Amino acid sequence: MSIDTETARRVAKLARIKVEDEALPALASEFSAILGFIEQLNEVDVEGVEPMTSVTPQRLKRREDVVTDGSQQEAVLKNAPDAREGFFAVPKVVE
Amino acid sequence: MSDLSKLTIAQARDAMRKGDTSSAEITAACLSEIEGAGALGAFVHNTPEIANQQAAAADARIKAGDAPDMCGIPLGIKDLFCTKGVPSQAASRILEGFKPEYESTVTTQLFDAGAVMLGKLNMDEFAMGSSNETSVYADAVNPWRRGNDDAALTPGGSSGGSASAVAADLCLAATGTDTGGSIRQPAAFVGITGMKPTYGRVSRWGVVAFASSLDQAGPMTKDVRDAAIMLEAMCGHDPKDSTSADLAVPNFEAALTGDIKGKTIGIPKEYRMDGMPQEIEQLWADGTTMLKDAGAKIVDITLPHTKYALPAYYVIAPAEASSNLARYDGVRFGHRAKLAQGDGITEMYEKTRAEGFGPEVQRRVMVGTYVLSAGFYDAYYNRARRVRALIKQDFDKVFADGVDAILTPATPSAAFGLGEMADADPIQMYLNDVFTVTVNLAGLPGIAVPTGVDKQGLPLGLQLIGRPWEEADLLNVAYSLEQSAGFVAKPAKWW
């Protein structure tokens, strides 16, 4: 499958990675090569095979729905690029 | 004792218990080796203060007679592990300045057992790479060279810093992680032992996530005995990782008898690749003979879906990565791009991620985004998960037929030169994992053991694949192979 620059632009947008216009054709051709490689999977007969959800035959463990920790505001915010008054600060989200 | 950094874990443990040396002395020797090994690019954040403190505490514990096997052993820790108060940035610019407020389960267990942290080790960015060339810290370098040629070679990846550090005797052992071969391929490239345990054996908590259904941490050590000792300290049930297995941890070292009489070793015909170098063929044949001479029964087996492992991996791993790496948004930790007047939150995400992720990480995140996007989810992602189920069934059948372990080459070649793959398309680099990636897809334990050198004097390794949860048995087969191969070569020091 060949990926055009419009699709590359859309994927970059979905992934929230800024890609300059002039870099899109090269990106599209890399995607095409990788997807071409992946397309070998179409040769496999997967009729009746369930997609694997867990590699070991165990279901995910559950725990009691109770609070196990908390009150760590300072530790949680410690690595934030911008934290103010106990909150993460970001550019304006709504007008 | 001289050359203390060259000791194995077992040798150091025994010498410290006898009082012949101390953790403080071995730690000092390692720190001095690290000091002189900048050219290897292996250690990227040194933690001598922590090391000296931990060594002193370990010595007190050894003196008191209450010392686990790992007590006082100086280790390097891959940068993918979160270590409290110490930079942990997965070799990525996007985690620049990140100092975790918590300690990963693996490093917690190692430190509780008395191990000493010398520092953090170089790797491919977010563990995405097979040559350590995607690291924000610059390349890690293989201590081995081709004969008298001084061209710099890759130590492999993604655990390239771990491999280089252990092979160059900068530390006694190191932690690694393995999503598609990232412990076993670098171990083979530098002539050390590297083990990926069964999926669920080792807690993933506090290890920066790449592809969560494939990621496993494991030991990178100077020999198989050390792998057994260190693995035991790393594994065990962890309620903080919902995929961690609630199983007893055996005494792996006690399993190393070297007796493999009556064991059945499978040789998969699909691993005989077109264009495989004669030296790899020979290495594999020699390894087969060694196991046979040790009393194992050799059988030819078939793993028919092997060919589809890499393409399935390059759907599943990027898909999971695109989801896992969504957290790097410039809000909670790490890098945030400088914004222009009027930029909103979307521009912040997009600029931060464009500046923070290197090209290979960006590529994989976007491929993952694509295969998970509406209209393609079934065609790519679900199909890959179906093929993954078939790959696992291949192994299930072989094990049900009585095979105890499978012998394959670890890598399709010896270490290549740094920069040699720069112009190759990404798929050429992906082919490095052709023998290892099946093991991650099937969740099995695998171990790379050095068994020979190529005509240029570079180390080559073989891989043994075991039954799920039977690491003890697998380690014993690896131990037998190690004894027969008698690989003792070391790189000549040039750094």
Bigger pLDDT: B211 vs B148: B211
Please tell me which of the candidates B198, B362, B383 has its beta carbon nearest to residue A46: B383
Encoded amino acid at A92, one letter = K
Rounded to the nearest integer, the mean pLDDT of chain B is 97
Residue of A nearest to B243 (CA): A60
Q: CB-based contact (8 Å) between A23 and chain B?
A: no
Q: How confident is the model at residue B354 (pLDDT cuts 50, 70, 90)?
A: very high
What pLDDT score does B1 carry? 46
Q: Which residues of A touch B396 (CB under 8 A)?
A: none
Would you say B348 and A90 are in contact if contact means Cβ atoms under 8 Å apart? yes
Please tell me which of the candidates A17, A37, A72 has its beta carbon nearest to residue B357: A17
Which token pair is B226?
Answer: 């050390």
Contact call for B363 and A30, based on CB within 8 A:
yes
In this prediction the pTM is 0.97
Q: How confident is the model at residue B2 (pLDDT cuts 50, 70, 90)?
A: low
- pLDDT of B362 higher than 90: yes
Active-site residue, B244 included: no
Would you say B278 and B285 are in contact if contact means Cβ atoms under 8 Å apart? no
Percent of chain B exceeding pLDDT 90 equals 96
Model pLDDT for residues A12-64, shown as the tens digit of each residue:
999 999 999 999 999 999 999 999 999 999 999 999 999 999 998 877 778 88
Active-site residue, B78 included: yes
Cα–Cα distance, B100 to B324 (Å, whole number)? 17
Cα–Cα distance, B268 to B446 (Å, whole number)? 15
Q: Which residues of B touch A60 (CB under 8 A)?
A: 242-243
Interface of A with B in 27-66 (CB under 8 A): 27, 30-31, 33-35, 37-44, 46, 49-56, 58, 60-61, 63
Which token pair is A61?
Answer: 């463990």
Percent of chain B exceeding pLDDT 70 equals 100
Q: How far is A63 from chain B (nearest CA, A)?
A: 9
- Mean predicted confidence (pLDDT) in B454-479: 97
- pLDDT of A86 higher than 70: yes
Model pLDDT for residues B20-51, shown as the tens digit of each residue:
999 999 999 999 999 999 999 999 999 999 99
Model pLDDT for residues B111-124, shown as the tens digit of each residue:
999 999 999 999 99
Residue of A nearest to B429 (CA): A34
Q: How confident is the model at residue A69 (pLDDT cuts 50, 70, 90)?
A: confident
Q: How far is B287 from chain A (nearest CA, A)?
A: 29
Cα–Cα distance, B358 to B434 (Å, whole number)? 24
Contact call for B345 and A53, based on CB within 8 A:
no
Among residues B490, B478, B464, B457, the alpha carbon closest in space to that of B149 is found at B457
Residue of B nearest to A19 (CA): B354
What's the per-residue H, E or C state across chain B? Answer: CCCHHHCCHHHHHHHHHHCCCCHHHHHHHHHHHHHCCHHHCCEEEECHHHHHHHHHHHHHHHHCCCCCCCCCCEEEEECCECECCECCCCCCHHHCCCCCCCCCHHHHHHHHCCCEEEEEECCCHHHCCCCCCCCCCCCCCCCCCCCCCCCCECCCCCCHHHHHHHHCCCCCEEEEEECCCCCHHHHHHHCCEEEECCCCCCCCCCECCCCCCCCEEEEEECCHHHHHHHHHHHCCCCCCCCCCCCCCCCCCHHHCCCCCCCCEEEEEHHHCCCCCCHHHHHHHHHHHHHHHHCCCEEEEECCCCHHHHHHHHHHHHHHHHHHHHHHCCCCCCCCCCCCCCCCCHHHHHHHHHHHHCCHHHHHHHHHHHHHHCCCCHHHHHHHHHHHHHHHHHHHHHHHHCCCCEEEEECCCCCCCECCCCCCCCHHHHHHHHCCCHHHHHCCCCEEEEEEEECCCCCEEEEEEEECCCCHHHHHHHHHHHHHHHCCCCCCCCCC
Q: Which residues pair with B370 in a beta bridge?
A: none
Q: Which residues of A touch B346 (CB under 8 A)?
A: 16
Please tell me which of the candidates B312, B344, B443 has its beta carbon nearest to residue A55: B443
Tell me how far apart the terminal alpha carbons of chain B are, to the nearest angstrom: 23
Least confidently predicted of B272-281, B310-319, B366-375, B432-441 = B272-281
What pLDDT score does B415 carry? 97
Contact call for A91 and B339, based on CB within 8 A:
yes
What pLDDT score does A60 carry? 77
Q: CB-based contact (8 Å) between A26 and chain B?
A: no
Catalytic residue among B22, B162, B182, B484: B182
Judged on CB neighbours under 10 Å (0-12, 13-18, 19+), B48 is middle
Q: How confident is the model at residue B478 (pLDDT cuts 50, 70, 90)?
A: very high
Strands B116-121 and B405-409 turn out to be unpaired
Model pLDDT for residues B167-179, shown as the tens digit of each residue:
999 999 999 999 9
Q: How confident is the model at residue A1 (pLDDT cuts 50, 70, 90)?
A: low
What pLDDT score does B426 carry? 82
Model pLDDT for residues B321-341, shown as the tens digit of each residue:
999 999 999 999 999 999 999
Q: How confident is the model at residue B95 (pLDDT cuts 50, 70, 90)?
A: very high
- Mean predicted confidence (pLDDT) in B76-81: 98
Contact call for B345 and A90, based on CB within 8 A:
yes
What pLDDT score does A58 carry? 77
Q: Which residues of A touch B307 (CB under 8 A)?
A: 40
Backbone angles phi, psi at B74, to 5 degrees: -80, 125
Active-site residue, B297 included: no
User: Which residue ranges form the domains of chain B, and what is each CATH number?
Assistant: 4-261+413-485 (3.90.1300.10)
Q: Give the CA-trace dihedral at B358, B359, B365, B369, to 10 degrees.
A: 140
What pLDDT score does B62 carry? 98
